[in-house]
């Protein structure tokens, strides 16, 4: 993967996550959840069977940052194919679909690992879809 492709991938996900958080903050019922969500996690985007493009997301006091690379101290590691992540973020794939179906490399579409301290952090894992997945639009 060339550096320009890596930069495009990074900018795509940075923009997607920023716009989702911005959209969530417009809805008063989500403000408390977004402001109270505190997590540091590494996001491994599986580009090839044996290559992951690493991003890290830090959420604290309503502020969110997405940067390239891995954090040394983290609460969770999420492994996913970029296309599957985008389908999950925009609600084309449900969370149940993501944890039960396989991706194009034969792994579960949404995989996660323990924190740097060896904790599982199920609370963060359960809140993640509420924070990152777009709300359904009522028509």
Q: Where are the domains of the chain?
A: 3-132
Cβ-based neighbours of 127, under 8 Å, separated by 6 or more: 33, 37, 39
The whole-angstrom separation of Cα 57 and Cα 55 is 7
Q: How far is CA 38 from CA 3, 24, 57, 115, in A?
A: 31, 16, 10, 14
The whole-angstrom separation of Cα 139 and Cα 132 is 21
What's the mean per-residue pLDDT of the chain?
93
pLDDT at 139 over 70: no
Question: pTM for the whole thing?
Answer: 0.90
Closest by alpha carbon to 131, among 43, 18, 15? Answer: 18
| Distance, C-alpha 76 to centroid of its chain | 10
CB 84 within 8 A of CB 109: yes
pLDDT digits (tens, 9 = 90+) for 17-62: 999 999 999 999 999 999 999 999 999 999 999 999 999 999 998 8
The whole-angstrom separation of Cα 94 and Cα 126 is 13
pLDDT digits (tens, 9 = 90+) for 49-104: 999 999 999 999 889 999 999 999 999 999 999 999 999 999 999 999 999 999 99
CATH architecture of the domain with range 3-132:
2-Layer Sandwich (3.30)
pLDDT at 122 over 80: yes
């Amino acid at each position: 993967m060339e550096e320009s492709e890596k930069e495009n991938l990074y900018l795509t996900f940075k923009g997607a996550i920023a716009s989702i958080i911005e959209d969530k903050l417009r809805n008063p019922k989500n403000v408390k959840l977004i402001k109270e969500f505190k997590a540091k996690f590494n996001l491994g985007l599986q580009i090839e069977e044996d290559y992951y493009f690493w991003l890290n997301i830090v959420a604290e006091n309503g502020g969110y940052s997405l940067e390239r690379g891995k954090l040394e101290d983290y609460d969770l590691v999420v492994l996913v194919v970029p296309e599957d992540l985008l389908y999950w973020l925009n609600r084309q794939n449900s969370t149940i679909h993501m944890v039960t179906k396989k991706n194009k490399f034969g792994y579960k579409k949404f995989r996660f690992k323990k924190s740097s301290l060896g904790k599982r952090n199920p609370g963060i894992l359960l809140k993640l879809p509420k924070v990152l997945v777009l709300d359904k639009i009522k028509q």
